[in-house]
Structure 1
Amino acid sequence: MKTIACFLMVFIGCVASAQQSPDFKSMRFDEDYSTVNDSTFGSKWYSRMKHLNLSENRRSYLSFGGDVRYQYFYVENENWGDSPEDHDGYILSRFLFHADLHLGKRVRFFVQTQSSLAEGRLDPSPVDQNPLELHQGFADFGLLENPTQKTALLLRIGRQELSYGSQRLVAVREGPNNRQSFDGAKAMLKVANFKADFFYTHYVRASDDIFDDESNDSRQFWGSYFRYDKIPYIGTTELYYLGLYRESVAFDSGITGNETRHSVGMRLANQIGGWRYDLEGVYQFGRFAMTDISAWTASVNTAFRFNSLKFKPEIGLKTEIISGDRDVTDDKTQTFNPLFPRGAYFGLAALVGPSNLIDVHPSISFNIAEGLDWTIDYDAFWRFSEQDGLYAPNASLIYPAGDSGEKEIGQQLATDFTWDANAFLSFRAEFTWFKAGKYLQSVTPGNDIIFTGLTMQLQF
């Protein structure tokens, strides 16, 4: 631990005086270092790490990078008192390292390893711990490129991350310790402001040993995603179809069977001055065991930032309605499946998942100083249907409906401070209090949850 800390301090000291800050992306393969030269980042060795030239025209090059994250969490009354009490807390660490090889403009190979460890965590899940794996390993082939007409067609084959829209349904799962990936192929077409993706993949299942993650034939994922930017008065419009096949699935009905689910959705997003909004609706259909699927969700996320005021306060309001099963004895399954969401859906505490849910979520945030933000948010949760239970972010059932006719799940009050110390290093401190509502009091001990978290993250 001390060796790593010393390495981080030396590294930060070497790059903090960079002439130009790198533009790190959530998905690291989206970064472009094609124009970097020896003096771009102030440090010659760091510039060469981001662009190690392999050809005279500088179109063939090798780039390296990584991400180191440490988190400490303490939870009081985990699972509302149903889990054994841990008085010491636990530490999550994640190491991501990648190499990006460009052979001209048409061929590219990207490899990324991931090591996610949980120290002091009682019975860690695959979301918390995955010792060492090939997280991504794919090849890109540029089939078409016409800069004049702003047209490009790219084919990606191999293990890769997927992320779309606001990450409600398809995400890299950055919040939890172990990010998720898929094995398959994706074709990406871009024409001016229009983008279209077509993909077919198998979910990569995390396992306990080293380099043993493999494609999961029992969970297949495919779809198409269309996006049009810079539409007058609207901003961005997204239309999509997502298909999912899963084996041995269980919902609150008590039935276990295979699921083939189709999701069609639309998203509108824009920012005009201090205003921003994000509207999305999804309908799902298909078959689960011997029942027909008919599920849906609608969400509104809007905010206004007062840029002329001190600390630039931003007031936001999110609300979602997410369907649940109204009658477990009929031939319909109405529980919404969030597919592969971002995990920490309602904060790092990640106590409730987006199925069978009504959520009202006001918030306020302040830019206290350069790089330092403070956010306070409040969540109120209810079950959409009293005949359906409470689900986790991964759509697994936490508690069944039971005999409780209560819909109130609870209320959550959270606050966090985020500090970007420089372009490479950031810190986050979060506190969450979840007050158990009448439904949770009827199916659990009903204790209130206290959750605290500290995060340090270095990207390079």
Structure 2
Amino acid sequence: MRQLFSNRTALYPAIILTGLTACAATAHAASNGDPLHVETTTPQRSLLDRIMHTAPGGCPPTPKDDPATYSPYGVFARGDGSETGFGPESQYGIPAGMEGTRRVKSACDKDDPFDAYKHMKLNDSGSIWLSLAGETKIRNWYDQHPVFGALTPPGDVGGIGGEKRRNHSGRFGVRNLWSADLHLGEHVRFFGQLINADAGGWRPYGYDGTFRKNIDAQQAFVEFSANLLGGHSGFIFGRQQFLDAPDYMIGNRDVLNVPLSWNGFRVYQIWKRVRIDAFDFVKTKDQHPVGAPQAFRDTEDYTTRLYGVNVTIAPPDFSFMGEKGYSFLNLFYYGYKLAGGAAQSTVMSEPSAWGSTTRNNFGLRWHGEAGPISFSFGGVYQQGIFHQQNMSAFNGRNIVHYDDKHRNVNAFAINSTVDYHFRHVMWHPSFGFQTDIYSGGGDRGSTSATNTYIEPFGVNTNYLDPTNYLTGSNLINFAPKIGFSPTKYLQIQFKYPFYWRYSHHDDTYSIYGRNVFGNQINNPEGDHGFYVGMAPQAEVALKLGPHLTWDQHVVRFMTSHNMHRVGAQNATYYQSDLTLTY
């Protein structure tokens, strides 16, 4: 418990800021000559009520009209705004640091104490301005049998591997993000973001630099933009998040405690119905030795790279079933370079072998809305090479020697989602299904091609598997789902996915790598079938106010008889996220 509360002061800045913003808001109003509202027809609300109130207010991301008519991003701001290339919209706009220089401040609630720190003018004309923002997230997990009771892989953090994770694990994490966004006119912008995170609980597992961090620089970049070539151009350089990809391929790793960040540059060009984005990054090195909590320790991890180009086309609008429709077509190339566990776990039956891999991803995605139907169809061909180094290593049982060799990679993924929305019916129900196919096989060979697809940067709670016991490698998923919204502040979704292995010559994989059991499921001496299991689940998102949300996930994973034969167990999983944005 000492470890759990060792950094409990991380919450103090958020609490202090909450208390001080009311005074700051009043001072800000007085400095501009605005009268203080002493007598009003509506009773004054307390500070707590202002923070928690559910009445219309805050800083809504957009009006109800079509964003194509007013947004600087035009048609690309439709939907959740992710096609702008800077992440989906939220209550206070898109994720911190992903806001463009041309974005216009929306109308805000003057009773909101945090609004005093948004878009603060630093000169008379308002061309120079500063916005401050923060986020505090408190997260709890419960795992009945973590990763189905799989053994820890060789070289796992805290041991040599081959041990079983402790059952009935309860994990707790807290994270703070503080950001400052300075705009120097219309074309120059500086953005900085600090992070602090800690984790504890009972019988925890998997804690490393993605859960615990002393104060460090999460993002720090400069952006230059201008109107060029008949459109809007931009160049961003420094440490930054990157979300210009399908969410099942690249995410911000928010499911863990420390988000993913990158170092390098990206350049974008936006026209009326075409957008181009090119980038070259190295990952932030956020893994440090245990017992090394020094501040500002993150550097660059040159063994992990992400680079490529994305072209997004917005075809002409259309009508379907008497309603308007629109769509986007993404054509992309993403390149990965990886070393260590992420590179070798899907290639080597003995995952302690050291190696590196290059993966070239060529793909497309077509998604949008056709009247009451929302849809997404995508496919990726993954080609590359795996290089195994000449070395001897301990695999948890004995010393194994590995020769220097290369293996080609030929893999693919197919992803689709379709939902039908009853927008004019009480509670606004929707129903649909999700289908995913991730290739696998060839992991037991030594010279033949490997066919196991990997998604090393696609950790996403809301897409494939909330437990993260399964990930997009050697997997087939079919998931019927239904959702509804009893009020505008409450959303509920039920999902019932079924999982199979794509190849019976390959294993199942989690975010921690290959799932290792006492008797491997890909053992050629026994036929363990393709069926993995099913995982009925529920997700509840409650908006407690313009700044406070509470998301909950509960999953009951029922593994197949064949999985039980190799040592896997059924599992119950629960996750709770309480997020305060300010």
Task: Please say which of residues 234-243 and 115-124 is displaced more in the overlay.
Answer: 115-124
Please give the residue correspondences for 1:72-83 in structure 2 after superposition, counting only pairs within 5 Å: 72-82=140-150, 83=164
Partner Cα separation in structure 2 for residue 261 and residue 380 of structure 1: 28
Q: Distance in 1 between matches of 2:456 and 2:277?
A: 18
User: Is 1:69–2:192 an aligned residue pair?
Assistant: no
The answer to whether 1:196 aligns with 2:291 is no
Deviation by residue 1:84-106 (Cα, 9 ceiling, x = unmatched): 44557221111111000111111
RMSD over aligned Cα, in angstroms?
A: 2.6
Structure 1 pair 73–26 and aligned structure 2 pair: CA distance change class (3 A): farther
Shift of 1:114: 1.6
CA-to-aligned-CA distance 1:11-33 (integer Å, 9 cap, x gap): 65445478552432452223479
Q: Is the 8 A contact 1:285 1:295 kept in 2?
A: yes
Segment drifting more, 245-254 vs 39-48: 39-48
Q: Partner residue of 1:229?
A: 314
Match for 2:371 among 260, 270, 273? Answer: 273
Structure 2 residue matching 1:47: 3-state secondary structure: helix
1:312 aligns with 2:312: no
Query: Does residue 48 of the first structure (1) align with residue 116 of the second (2)?
Result: yes
Q: CA deviation at 1:178?
A: 1.6
The residue number in structure 1 matching 2:215 is: 132
Residue of structure 2 equivalent to 1:332: 449
Q: Which of 339, 349, 360 is residue 247 of structure 1 equivalent to?
A: 339
Aligned-partner Cα distance in 2 for 1:450–1:22 = 36
Render the CA deviation track for 1:319-374: whole Å, top value 9, x for unaligned: 01110024632520111011311342434322211111000111111111221111
Is contact 1:12–1:424 with CA below 8 Å preserved after alignment?
Answer: no
**Counterpart secondary structure, 1:30:** coil
1:381 aligns with 2:464: no
The answer to which of 320-329 and 218-227 deviates more is 320-329
Q: Distance in 2 between matches of 1:362 and 1:247?
A: 36
Equivalent residue in structure 2 for 1:27, among 85, 95, 101: 95
Aligned counterpart for 2:439 among listed residues 304, 315, 323? 323
SS at match of 2:304: strand
Partner of 2:42: none
Aligned partner of residue 441 in structure 1, secondary structure: helix
Q: Distance in 2 between matches of 1:374 and 1:424?
A: 19
Tell me if structure 1 keeps the 8 A contact 2:465–2:471. no
Say which of 393, 398, 413 aligns to 2:536.
Answer: 413
Deviates more, 1:282-291 or 1:400-409: 400-409
Q: d(CA) in 2 for partners of 1:6 and 1:221?
A: 37
Q: Deviation of residue 43 (structure 1)?
A: 4.1
Deviations 1:209-268 (A, max 9, x none): 332122111111110011112434561000000111122431343364221111000000
- Change over 3 Å in CA distance of 1:391–1:448 after alignment to 2: same
Please say if 1:367 is aligned against 2:490: no
* Aligned partners of 2:248 and 2:460 also within 8 Å: no
8 Å CA contact 1:375, 1:416 repeated in 2: yes
SS state of the match for residue 442, structure 1? helix
Whether the 8 Å CA contact 1:94–1:117 is kept in 2: the answer is: yes
Question: Is 2:289 aligned against 1:166?
Answer: no
- Output the amino acid matched with 1:67: E
Question: 1:275 and 1:123, CA in 2 relative to 1: closer, same or farther beyond 3 A?
Answer: closer
SS of 2:114's equivalent in the other structure is helix
Which of 354-363 and 398-407 deviates more? 398-407
Name which one, 1 or 2, has greater alpha-carbon Rg.
2
Aligned to 1:284: 382
- Secondary structure at 2:536's aligned position in 1? strand
- Match in the other structure for 2:401: none
Offset, 1:35: 5.2
Query: Secondary structure in 1 aligned to 2:515?
Result: strand
In structure 1, the gaps of 5 or more residues are none
- Per-residue CA deviation, residues 120-165 of structure 1 (Å, 9 max, x unaligned), is 13451333333332111000012x315xx86111111000101124
- Determine the C-alpha separation between the residues in 1 that align with 2:232 and 2:275: 10
Equivalent position SS for 2:497: strand
Structure 1 residues 292, 424: closer, same or farther in 2, change over 3 A?
same
Count of paired positions: 454
Could you tell me whether the CA contact under 8 Å between 2:194 and 2:218 is conserved in 1?
A: yes
Separation (CA, whole Å) in 2 of partners of 1:252 and 1:291: 9
Is the CA contact 2:339–2:356 (under 8 Å) kept in the aligned structure 1? yes
Q: How does 1:143-182 map to 2 (within 5 A)?
A: 144-145=226-227, 151-182=231-262
CA separation in 2, counterparts of 1:348 and 1:114? 24
Match of 2:160 in 1: none
1:402-424: CA deviations, max 9, x gaps?
41532221110111221112221
Q: Aligned runs of 1:46-125 on 2, under 5 Å?
A: 46-82=114-150, 83-85=164-166, 87=168, 89-120=170-201, 121-125=204-208
Q: Which moved more, 1:193-202 or 1:16-25?
A: 16-25
- CA change 1:123–1:323 in 2 (3 A) is closer
Counterpart contact for 1:140–1:154, Cα < 8 Å: yes
CA distance in 2, matches of 1:411, 1:155: 45
Sort the Cα spacing of 1:311 and 1:201 in 2 relative to 1 into closer, same or farther, 3 A.
same
Q: Give, in whole Å, the separation in 2 of the partners of 1:362 and 1:94.
A: 33
Q: Does structure 1 conserve the Cα–Cα contact (< 8 Å) formed by 2:347 and 2:442?
A: no
Q: What letter is aligned with 1:311?
A: W
User: Which structure's residues are more often strand, by fraction?
Assistant: 1
Amino acid paired to 1:221: L
SS, match of residue 243 in structure 2: coil
Kept after mapping to 2: 8 A contact 1:228/1:237: yes
Aligned-residue sequence identity (percent) comes to: 20
Aligned to 2:547: 424
The TM-score normalised by the length of structure 2 is 0.73
Matched, 1:212 2:297: yes
Q: Is residue 173–residue 200 contact of structure 2 (8 Å, CA) maintained in 1?
A: yes
Q: Name the CA distance, whole Å, in 1 between partners of 2:233 and 2:105.
A: 24
Structure-2 change in CA distance of 1:61 and 1:319 (3 Å) = same
Give the Cα separation in 2 of the matches to 1:401 and 1:197.
42
Alignment match, 2:82: none
Relative distance call for 1:101 and 1:392 in structure 2 (3 A) is same
Query: What residue identity is the alignment partner of 1:189?
Result: Q
Q: Give the C-alpha shift of residue 384 in structure 1.
A: 0.5
Whether 1:293 and 2:409 are equivalent positions in the alignment is: yes
Aligned partners of 1:27 and 1:161 also within 8 Å: no
Cα distance change of structure 1 residues 113 and 335 upon mapping to structure 2, 3 Å threshold: same
Which AA in structure 2 matches 1:297? A
